[in-house]
Amino acid sequence: MSIKTLEIKELEAKAANVYEAIVVLSKRARQINEETKIEFSQRIENLVALPGNPDEVEDVANPDQMRISLEFEKRPKATEEAIEELMNNQLEHRYKEAEVKK
């Protein structure tokens, strides 16, 4: 996998400063990662276990599980997706509103 360079000035143009952009990217990458984990878990749960003796330790993997694992492994990483979304103006970020105390 090759490493893509990212111009800091382009990144800074998408947020108030570089540090804010990094925080936005890290939070979005975590969200994407959680969504991927949930999707993977749901798809693995739907698989039927291979018949066999539960006492035996088998080195044979379920081919459907292997196929799903390889599919998820080929997907772009969460950080790459987050950067792509930010650079394509698909991410919207804002500050939380401060509560007014009475």
pLDDT single digits (tens) 1-19 = 567 888 888 888 888 889 9
pLDDT single digits (tens) 13-60 = 888 889 999 999 999 999 999 999 999 999 988 876 555 555 555 556
What is the pLDDT at residue 57?
54
CA distance 44 to 81: 23
In 3-state terms, what secondary structure has residue 54?
A: coil
pTM (2 d.p.): 0.76
Q: What is the DSSP letter of 48?
A: P
CA distance 94 to 6: 23
